[in-house]
Structure 1
């Protein structure tokens, strides 16, 4: 039996003090009342279907059972439990027949009541009501794309880019300190006007094999009859066509008929398909519509590629400034407009005749008011012992007028570029020395000149000999932003050579923009282990009196993030820990986790031990406080995360030095950036950077708080980040922890302003994506660097 996990308690509410102040705001949440009971059943198969590889078969069988035998009850199956809304099951045992690979198999399926949850119960599974809310939206014409419900009528055309933007609303029910609430937010989905077949046949220089590989895991949209349907591509069947692929179609209650995809679409939808086209083996997405018989079943289906419309922004637009700007302008809205849209669509939902089927009742149709707090201004330290306050989340002017606090001279470096860029190199060097504010910081580079884009990587790889292996940095001037070339260069320099690299596009040195070059210089300084600016170390960090080993009086901030690959069915974990006292230099590690798992089960203790040892070498003493900001874990996994990862962190500390010789204060904090909460001033403006929300909409189960750190323009709504303190033996006040977290958002040297995440979280986030997209699981020889770009 696993141990009972006790989470960190929420500290008492403090009045604003020490330079902070109070603020009255509203949140996009509405108080509701639950009006429906939920019955949870465990599901038993005889013979057993419990292995991981049989999960899809279990889901398919139960979904069919819900459709054919449990109606008119509203039920949903999450592959672990069956939930019945409103009424219990009349029958708890069924006999079903399933066919796999042409063989029929009989199953006995039993349902055992685990829990009956009634309105007002503390353990009521509120999240299950989100399924009913999606069902209400589906009845009103909304279509589910991934997790979002969007409406075909609410679309904007971008004919120049062959794109459509569909808008919708995301509703979610959660438990707050004030009871059940519903949060509402506007969302958008990008749909392409080109089909998968158009994409495969397009003559754009990309190999067809690479295109096929990129399609796996992608979400598509089709229209069958009167309904829009969305699917996720499991596999591209390049060896099958609509004329050759057959499947068994139900022709009556007990009869089936074998039919080709070509004949099926001709008979059912009067569509004549192109005979020679690949098919897409897909799974239907979403379960909300299924409760009300809106969407297709969950068994795999073969979709003709000419009927599958792609979703998401095409990759070639990512480097197109004008395309991305127009998309952003169409999607973006001012906070006043966003607030008005949320209020209008929520009011419409509450007045909908289908709304009672959601199982909830609105107590109020106005956004909930909150008393928030604005952190004290952050003080940044610059060169020449200068200090400046950051009051609006941005300090671009401070970068311009101040020198960096600890720049490192770029003395031994390599510049790689095409012959055609030779005429621009002199002005590029002049601009680089100008933004460095000290010409002696930038020495003349060694050079490798390549012939053209096609031979860029091969020539560099051939000419990059041992004489360059001890260089501080390699700067590539690329002809254009090409994913393949960028990946090859980064893999070779990081993995094969162990040398830091930096890329810049040729057009940015043809017409010098000092703002771009200034940003480049900040990245260079960070990559050669310099510091651009610093925050003031928190004065409240003290040595634990129980430790007998001398400590530094500083903080080691750590982070973990995991990115999950849809294509390879594995995860890429990034672990980072600061080793400099100013928290700007980081020790890094990457790991591959099989099966797309999210939690680390090994090697974290060794990483923590190594990080403490490195910190001690740099600072002559180990840290007095160790704080782990853990990104990418949902509420349902909090207990497992504490039992696994947090205990490994404590083991790593004990492996470094046993208690009571060394006993630093520790905290384990979850970070959630994909949230639906938005905050506004009462008149609809953005709230100030540094605003903390730790009442009303926060959880009654955990110590959590929301932070809006970054400054945004008046046409964009600020995005908050949620922090959940799962474990902590810090002797800090809650305001000190919140203020320190806000200060860490100012350390990211790639942007002269506060970002939405603390520095270590941003480092881990970028490194996990870098490991997945660029390194592709290969081991980098660089284990210490500020961050990956």
Structure 2
């Protein structure tokens, strides 16, 4: 296929037949759909304040649209509407005109407050206290412009095997209905998930944040008809209550005098509060520079003659005179600034409470993450019960708009038949075979397939109470059991105490100075014992991978069991070029489609950083197979790119002379050629992680086209055939055993009927053994298949790739998607991107980044050291 032609997503060629049958349930609920004659009309919404500034707050936007429909009901013919809170309004039936302009007035009324008389320039309460309500009116300018017509009948057309350009828009309308319904009930809506703040759904994570359980709900077109997908969801919110309580908890201090106010300012910015004296909701802009009893501002007062003049007062004095409030502890501390840059509004901390159901978007601590993960785990039977009860109790069928659209949701999960694929046979050292049982296999007393020898190496200890002699002896002894020959370490180096309080980069540099002094020969490997704080990991990996070219393995202090050391040895062996195990099919060259023709396997992923690091660059990683016909050895190439951009922009980097020089794919093709005895790839299998369905065409026509462009330069004609497969982890489909509801589905379970796309080639596969919580299958989408795999052949190949992952535990398991991993090429790409992202973590952490919203320039990532270019450093 010519790279210049636009590629089209393929249709399903059939369904698989191999494997034993298994009766399953899925959290998709069948929808009876009778509203085929309903037509929605889409209008674009432009909403501005009176000063022509765009309205960006969804809560405000919804209030304005609701008020508009009340004020101008006759002009809008009294139509029911659906609004997404942003740019799209859908009416049931057309409006009288294609363009409208409305002026909408919102009135905000405060609680009753004392009306104070002014005497001789001072505030004093009148003898007969009067009460008044302060009203604030805001003008909005709203424009509606006709965009398109969306018939719901398009959904039925697709289910009957036809095509319709409106089907995705129709599904979007139904999903906006769900969001609008929950928003009107006061829920926090996050995309298609909603959270109502019921105390039984809240769990304190400490640090001022709370885990909030809710539900995901969405409509989907499937081969079994329209379905309703419901799943348990979890988000993190701020613990509501006094702002000062949040700051103290967040910084883990007991008294206000211990607070780091610079850090508090960054944390508080843009949070929403309600004031106690006026009962108004406001957004925090920042903090005052001075405490309440010193922070002054000017205000106008009227004297006895009725003339106004300007006086200066402090925040403490103002609240004492205006509201008869004597501030207690907060008078000595900064105020919250609830105004704007040029017009600050100061309110004491003790007068402000955080409002409920505010998402916490900063990075969580390791303890908080562990606690959150624990709360998201539900055994299969419990999760199934929670989901089914939610569908029955939420009353979706009672929603007037859903009812008018002919939507009736069944209350029982969809029943379907899946298949369980057999596990592949593995080959270990000395040709010993092993067949995994329920996704697990034990190599405790077996040697590795290709163990390495480690000569010059050292142990470095960053101020932890760990016996380095004991650690080195255990590593040597357990390595011998796995066939890995490890000499005695050439040095055991403890960090000098005078550097402990220095920064991470300095500490790492000083340790390597000691290492060079202690060792006459360059070490092949270093074992690094880090503290649990783990702040040295990024600088250490950067030093090893970019500057020194030394393989490293980090470990934490704690209970070091045989299982722990076994896990370390598997990683060390893979990093140093060894092989832990291979597929029997691979060993016998029994996979003809990938072993008779030179085949390059690619895994692509983009790491966007953790929450709270908005300006940090995204990290694109591509891993490629090497040493064909092996499918177990890989190398990685990593680049930085603009934050939050999913498409990889460094696959092909054209140069003025017409040749590609620094692109990732050129690296992969050259390495494949050099490591595969001069073979050029005739086929490329590309696994792509992290993209949504709306980005599939971009993958085909941007990323694949870039790959083919490089192939055209390097390989010339004929271009390799390409198969492109998307692996999605972030979806809400769950599978349950119908005949054994208390257990997770067995490893190898695959589903390609009933709940899959009505036309496209996709399937669900659960290759791992779920031990904790409910297993989540990977959702694979085959976009194009020029190689021509049979359905069963491709599904078994993908299943096999889950068993070539080098980072298994000693009692090993196929890859567990609950730890954000899928088949080996994607898992490796994910790890490579995440590990390299740690190089930049100090520069772009939430605590050190500026308050500016401007995107920082993307730093060019220094190439890895030539000594480890081709290593599996990401293990």
Residue 384 of structure 1 aligns with which residue? 430
Is residue 681 of structure 1 aligned with residue 737 of structure 2? yes
Residue 297 of structure 1 aligns with which residue? none
Structural mapping, 1:583-622, within 5 Å: 583-594=631-642, 596-604=644-652, 606-620=663-677, 621-622=679-680
Residue 681 of structure 2 aligns with which residue? 623
Kindly state the Cα deviation for residue 393 of structure 1 after the two structures are TM-superposed.
Answer: 1.1
RMSD (CA atoms)? 4.6
SS in 1 for 2:221: strand
Residue 292 of structure 1 aligns with which residue? none
User: Are the counterparts in 1 of residues 25 and 737 from structure 2 also a CA contact under 8 Å?
Assistant: yes
Is residue 723 of structure 1 aligned with residue 789 of structure 2? no
Is residue 646 of structure 1 aligned with residue 646 of structure 2? no
Size of the aligned set, in residue pairs, is 721
Is residue 763 of structure 1 aligned with residue 816 of structure 2? no
Kindly state the Cα deviation for residue 29 of structure 1 after the two structures are TM-superposed.
Answer: 0.4
Any gaps of 5 or more consecutive residues in structure 2? 74-79, 106-137, 156-163, 298-313, 341-345, 654-662, 842-858
Between the aligned partners of 2:274 and 2:253, the Cα distance in structure 1 is 26
Residue 850 of structure 2 aligns with which residue? none
Residue 257 of structure 1 aligns with which residue? none
Between the aligned partners of 1:764 and 1:230, the Cα distance in structure 2 is 45
1:634/1:278 CA distance change after superposition, 3 Å? farther
Residue 30 of structure 2 aligns with which residue? 31
Is residue 174 of structure 1 aligned with residue 220 of structure 2? yes
1:34-79: CA deviations, max 9, x gaps?
5454322356899xx99xxx98769899767634434575343576
Kindly state the Cα deviation for residue 387 of structure 1 after the two structures are TM-superposed.
Answer: 1.7
1:145/1:419 CA distance change after superposition, 3 Å? closer
Is residue 499 of structure 1 aligned with residue 522 of structure 2? no
Between the aligned partners of 2:492 and 2:189, the Cα distance in structure 1 is 53
Pick from 731, 748, 751: which aligns with 1:693? 751
Residue 372 of structure 1 aligns with which residue? 418
SS in 2 for 1:378: coil
1:1-53: CA deviations, max 9, x gaps?
x975421221112422xxx222221110012245454322356899xx99xxx
Residue 129 of structure 2 aligns with which residue? none
Residue 296 of structure 1 aligns with which residue? none
Between the aligned partners of 1:475 and 1:387, the Cα distance in structure 2 is 31
Residue 83 of structure 1 aligns with which residue? 89
Is residue 431 of structure 1 aligned with residue 454 of structure 2? no
SS in 1 for 2:391: helix
Between the aligned partners of 1:26 and 1:267, the Cα distance in structure 2 is 64
Between the aligned partners of 2:644 and 2:558, the Cα distance in structure 1 is 39
Between the aligned partners of 1:209 and 1:558, the Cα distance in structure 2 is 45
Give the TM-score taking structure 2 as reference length: 0.72
Kindly state the Cα deviation for residue 784 of structure 1 after the two structures are TM-superposed.
Answer: 2.9
User: Are the counterparts in 1 of residues 426 and 581 from structure 2 also a CA contact under 8 Å?
Assistant: yes
SS in 1 for 2:65: helix
SS in 2 for 1:390: coil
User: Are the counterparts in 2 of residues 282 and 303 from structure 1 also a CA contact under 8 Å?
Assistant: no
Structural mapping, 1:329-728, within 5 Å: 329-350=374-395, 353-354=398-399, 356-357=401-402, 359=405, 361-395=407-441, 397=442, 399-418=443-462, 421=465, 424-436=467-479, 437=481, 438=483, 440-452=485-497, 453-454=500-501, 456-457=507-508, 459-465=510-516, 470-478=522-530, 480-508=531-559, 512-535=560-583, 536-537=585-586, 539-542=590-593, 553-563=598-608, 566-568=613-615, 570-581=617-628, 582-594=630-642, 596-604=644-652, 606-620=663-677, 621-660=679-718, 663-683=719-739, 684=741, 685-713=743-771, 716-728=773-785
User: Are the counterparts in 2 of residues 282 and 302 from structure 1 also a CA contact under 8 Å?
Assistant: no
Is residue 41 of structure 1 aligned with residue 124 of structure 2? no
SS in 2 for 1:642: helix
1:454-509: CA deviations, max 9, x gaps?
3543531443449689432222112x22243222222322333333322112334x
User: Are the counterparts in 2 of residues 378 and 391 from structure 1 also a CA contact under 8 Å?
Assistant: no
1:137-183: CA deviations, max 9, x gaps?
34445333676322322335458887644322111111111222110
User: Are the counterparts in 2 of residues 564 and 571 from structure 1 also a CA contact under 8 Å?
Assistant: yes
Between the aligned partners of 2:273 and 2:798, the Cα distance in structure 1 is 45
1:280/1:501 CA distance change after superposition, 3 Å? farther
Kindly state the Cα deviation for residue 720 of structure 1 after the two structures are TM-superposed.
Answer: 0.9
| Range that drifts further, 334-343 or 357-366 | 357-366
Give the TM-score taking structure 1 as reference length: 0.79
Between the aligned partners of 1:780 and 1:94, the Cα distance in structure 2 is 56
Between the aligned partners of 2:14 and 2:431, the Cα distance in structure 1 is 38
Between the aligned partners of 2:183 and 2:62, the Cα distance in structure 1 is 18
Between the aligned partners of 2:624 and 2:666, the Cα distance in structure 1 is 11
Kindly state the Cα deviation for residue 647 of structure 1 after the two structures are TM-superposed.
Answer: 0.9
Kindly state the Cα deviation for residue 351 of structure 1 after the two structures are TM-superposed.
Answer: 6.3
Between the aligned partners of 1:526 and 1:676, the Cα distance in structure 2 is 34
Between the aligned partners of 2:206 and 2:781, the Cα distance in structure 1 is 44
Between the aligned partners of 2:785 and 2:266, the Cα distance in structure 1 is 43
Between the aligned partners of 2:253 and 2:578, the Cα distance in structure 1 is 45
1:384/1:189 CA distance change after superposition, 3 Å? same
| Range that drifts further, 134-143 or 586-595 | 134-143
Residue 69 of structure 1 aligns with which residue? 68
Residue 116 of structure 1 aligns with which residue? 150
| Range that drifts further, 301-310 or 553-562 | 301-310
Between the aligned partners of 2:209 and 2:139, the Cα distance in structure 1 is 46
